[in-house]
Amino acid sequence: MAKAIALAGIIGPIWFTALVVLQGWLLPGYSHVRLPISALAAWPTGWIQNVNFYVAGVLTMAFAVALHHGVQPTRRGSAGVALLVFGGLGLVWSGIFPWKMVDGVPAETATHVIGAVMVFTATGLGLIVFHDG
């Protein structure tokens, strides 16, 4: 079962990237160069990016759990897994609190920043701690 769930670690990034490219292609006013991925949520098709965050977050958490059950326990491995789960929660949080369109300009919300910090900090540290465990 852990091997099947571990596929989330492969499927998640492919799913996320495919939807980001698709939505960027659908929105002539969006630029992958000028704007961050989160800004995709500010357009009328923003629900696609929100769903993308939800699915990627759940797949990240599933991968972390599979990782926990599928490898030899290490001294700091559990902390690494917990951080990866927290990063997945940050992705879900980012979908719950998306960017908004303000006077025709995509704007980051303060609550979205919390999710972004969770994702980048916890996921990065989680991989480092898990690896160095």
Per residue in 4-30, pLDDT (tens digit) is 787 888 899 999 999 999 999 999 889
Length of the chain: 133
Could you tell me the residue ranges of all domains in the chain? 2-132
Does the pTM of the predicted model rise above 0.85?
yes
**pLDDT, mean of residues 35-41:** 97
Q: By CB neighbour count within 10 A (0-12 exposed, 13-18 middle, 19+ buried), where does 102 fall?
A: exposed
Look at residues 2, 36, 44, 6 and name the one whose alpha carbon lies nearest to residue 20.
36
